[in-house]
Amino acid sequence: MVKEMKMKRFACLLLATVALAVPAAFADEEHNHDKHGAQAASAAKLTSGVVRKIDKAAGKISIAHDPIENLGMSKMTMVFRAKEPGMLDAVKEGDKVNFAADRIQGVLTVTRIEAAK
């Protein structure tokens, strides 16, 4: 019983992560997880950029990005760690993207990324 609850919760978190990584129109059809709205709202503001390189094996992505307010960073090209390696499946090299980044345990990490419209 308890185990089943945990599984469901885990699946729900996974879906939420995927929903953040795929274009919004697509995600809205599949899921309507109001509970996760609050989490998304507390995430850092999105920054635009262009994907330069993706290293799926290492879980890393290089982005030519606009200034990132929450990190006090100016425009540059740099490598970020992906919070979830699966996030990198939603974008490809050369894509214009909107993403959120944060410093997690000292590592600059993309916490959310989606192809720009």
Tokens found for residue 9 = 């919760």
Burial class of residue 35, CB neighbours in 10 A (0-12, 13-18, 19+): exposed
Residue 2 Cβ vs Cu ion, minimum distance, rounded to whole Å: 43
Smallest gap from Cβ 4 to Cu ion, in A, equals 43
What span, in angstroms and rounded, lies between the C-alpha atoms of 26 and 108?
Answer: 28
How many degrees, rounded to 5, is the angle at CA 55 between CA 51 and CA 60?
Answer: 75
Residue 76 interacts with Cu ion (CB under 5 A)? yes
Residue 22 interacts with Cu ion (CB under 5 A): yes or no: no
Binding segment for Cu ion (CB under 5 A), chosen from 24-32, 37-45, 72-80, 87-95, is 72-80
Assess 73 for contact with Cu ion (CB under 5 A). yes
Of 19-27, 45-53, 78-86, 87-95, the window that binds Cu ion (rule: CB under 5 A) is: 78-86
Q: Report the amino acid identity of residue 105.
A: Q
Of 43, 44, 41, 39, residue with least CA distance to 13: 39
Q: Which one of residues 78, 90, 115, 116 is an interface residue with Cu ion (CB under 5 A)?
A: 78
- 50 binds Cu ion per the rule CB under 5 A: no
Which spans of this chain sit near Cu ion (rule: CB under 5 A)?
73, 76, 78
